[in-house]
Amino acid sequence: MMGKLFSFSFLLQALAVVIAVLAFSYFDPFDLLISNKLTLRDTPAQVQQIKSIGELISAEYYGEVISSYSHTVKANKDTAIAQMKRDVMVVHKQFYRGLLNIINADLSDKSDIKKRIQSLQDSLEHYSYANAYLDVFESNIGRGKMAQQIKNFSDDSKQTNFFQYLAINKVSITYYNEVFSKELESINKIFNSSKIKNSQLILVGRGKVQAGFKFDSLTTRNVKVDTARNRIVLVGLKPQILSCDINPWFIPELGLKGFEIIEFNKNADNIDILKQVKLNCLDSLRNSAIRSEILIKAKINAEQNLKNLFSLLLNNKDIEVKILADTSVLMSVKP
């Protein structure tokens, strides 16, 4: 009886030790069992060039955005659909225009008709979705008939009506719709693939947008000093976004990161996906700055700050500064 009890308690203790060892090796709190060492090699940073610029930064926007691979995929999908919609419409219009051009040809001039047919075929070559469009066209009139009918048309003037018939009745918006829904299906297929669906990377981005004016092409012609009216007019300057950045560090002195990966899985552990999500963050940051009216504020601030500067430079506190984008004013502003 005692022997049995002893062996049972021994087994329990052994089990506890095994569990403790397994737990320790799994969590490895002191990095004793498996250690990771990530090191950056000491490589030189080389100055490629230092060039002259002229920029007045008059407004800065600091912001924080969040983006994920799902957001990026949705944005890319929307862009792809919008682009496809435009491209198919261009092909549709081009095709219709080409057919009308053939119909309006002088039937007695066979070489002119041939040229116009060739021109229609050539004009479609450079467009995306032209093949998809011709496929739909041929499936409606009968496969292979397009080439045959064009040949007949150029050989025999009796075929004139065929193109008139096509232009009026067949080449309708339904062709466009058919190509569009077919292509939409293939875009959906690409973006809804399981690989894309199962990839996730969530990123927080903190960055800065600077807006103001570029002085690179500024000459004395753009600066009009109207001493009689205590006014300086800067002509031909338009406020613009001068930079939009999210760096690895936002404020390094405070240890505040620019990009911070919140979550990622194995499928998204890829620099290309990381770049796409970062680009999406950057777009969001730029849009936030524009929504906050950074360009309007850049102009107001610049006028005020330049007024302060010119007041000091001219020792005249009543000076006023105006910034005008329109160069036509150059003529009306008195020097």
187-206 residues near other proteins, rule: CB under 8 A: 201, 206
Among 313, 318, 326, 332, binds other proteins (CB under 8 A): 313
Alpha carbon distance 136, 182 (integer Å): 10
Assess 241 for contact with other proteins (CB under 8 A). Answer: no
The SS3 call for residue 166 is: helix
Residue 91: burial class (beta carbons within 10 Å; 0-12, 13-18, 19+)? buried
Among 1, 2, 5, 47, binds other proteins (CB under 8 A): 47
Instruction: Decide if 232 contacts 323 (C-beta within 8 A).
Output: no
Integer Cα distance of 189 and 288 in angstroms = 32
Q: Rounded CA gap, 143 and 3, in Å?
A: 91
142 touches other proteins by CB under 8 A: no
Q: Which residue, 29 or 44, has its beta carbon nearer to other proteins?
A: 44
Q: Which of 163, 199, 301, 324 binds other proteins (CB under 8 A)?
A: 301
Residue 213 contacts residue 57 (beta carbons within 8 Å): no
Subset of 202-231 contacting other proteins (CB under 8 A):
206, 208, 210, 212, 215, 220, 223, 225
Nearer to other proteins, 5 or 47 (CB): 47
For other proteins, the binding residues in 254-283 under the rule CB under 8 A are 254-257, 259, 261, 264, 268-271, 273-275, 278-279
Shortest Å, Cβ 49 to other proteins: 5
39: contact with other proteins by CB under 8 A: yes
Residue type, 106: D
* Residue 56 in the binding site for other proteins (CB under 8 A): yes
The residue to which tokens 């496969």 are assigned? 143
